[in-house]
Amino acid sequence: MNGSNHIGRSSPFLTSPTSAVMRMMMAKLYCVQMISMLGYDILFNDVDAVWFKDPLPYFHNSSNPNTDFDMYFQDDGNHALYYAPYSANTGFYYVRSNERTRYFFNSFLMAGDLIRSTRSHQVPLVALLNEHASMYGLKVKIFSRDGDDFPGGHAFHRRKTFMRDILTGIVKPYIFHMSWTKNKDNKMLFMQQFGEWYLNEQCLDKSASTILGTSYKKGLGSELIQPCCAPEPLFSCHYRDKPSLKKCKDSPAIDKGGRSFW
């Protein structure tokens, strides 16, 4: 890591997540394992990822040279030892349903205590990927952090020319995942100036019952679309040295000595 203040630099072993974060990590395991046992292919997507085009045709294309893999992950960007050897990011990945992947997620479920002991969902998953690839022939594909189809936060912070090409329409990846970023507050600011934020202010950090008041009916999530979802991106400038849909030259830099993105 480069020491800039927008990127999480500490080891996951040194953090102390709240019980809510720990429950979320366990939920990321439970929901995927249950669907795996039902025999379905799985596309897992965190909420900080946006789609520019449907990624499923990529994985369903039998002529794709990368078609012969069981699991596909983005490169996290962080190549520290605790993510070795794969540095797989668990915020966007695709899984083909077969005996190898079902056994993998069953094994992960049985090793769920590793999530608590490492305080991470990603660290034990990467360790198990290595074990199952070595012992059981699990075929794992990691998309390069320098690739153009499935970029993440590493590209946002390190590949200025590539990000300009996305914003000007020269390059159109399948998705963009705001990974490799310090916290959710920064992610929101970055997404706003990237032009991919559509949540109205009155719905931010609010429950459905608070937003809808007396008209709230449990289970009817479609009622939230009108008050919460903006038809156009809610753009705002925050940092001149980060990718932005419009020029943000009058905004401060978040990195020491950061130059204007445009």
Q: What is the model's pLDDT at position 208?
A: 87
What pLDDT, on a 0 to 100 scale, did the predictor assign at position 220?
64
What letter does residue 83 receive in the DSSP assignment?
G
Has residue 87 been placed in a domain?
yes
Q: Residue 175: inside a domain, yes or no?
A: no
From CA 43, how far away is CA 29, in angstroms rounded?
A: 13
**pLDDT the model gives residue 8:** 46
Q: Three-state SS for 44?
A: strand
User: Is 137 within the bounds of a domain?
Assistant: yes
Residue 41 covered by a domain: yes
Q: Give pLDDT, residue 37.
A: 97
pTM for the predicted model, two decimal places? 0.88
Mean pLDDT by 10 residues, the chain (262 residues): 42 56 91 97 96 97 95 95 94 98 98 92 96 98 96 96 97 96 94 97 91 76 87 97 97 95 96
Residue 97 lies in a domain: yes
Q: How far is CA 3 from CA 10, 178, 181, 241, 254, in A?
A: 10, 18, 12, 15, 12
pLDDT of residue 18: 61
**Per the domain annotation, does 211 fall within a domain?**
no
CA pair distance 177, 74, nearest whole angstrom: 9
Q: What is the four-CA torsion angle of 20, 21, 22, 26, rounded to 10 degrees?
A: 100
Lookup: tokens for 248: 């943000």
Predicted pLDDT of residue 20: 84
Number of helices and strands (H, E) in the chain?
Answer: 10, 6
For residue 151, tell me if it sits in a domain: no
pLDDT of residue 223: 85
Please give the tally of structural domains in the chain: 1
In this structure, the number of other CB atoms found within 10 A of the CB of residue 151 comes to: 27
Residue 116's domain spans which residues?
Answer: 16-143
- Residue 14: predicted pLDDT: 43
Residue 23 lies in a domain: yes
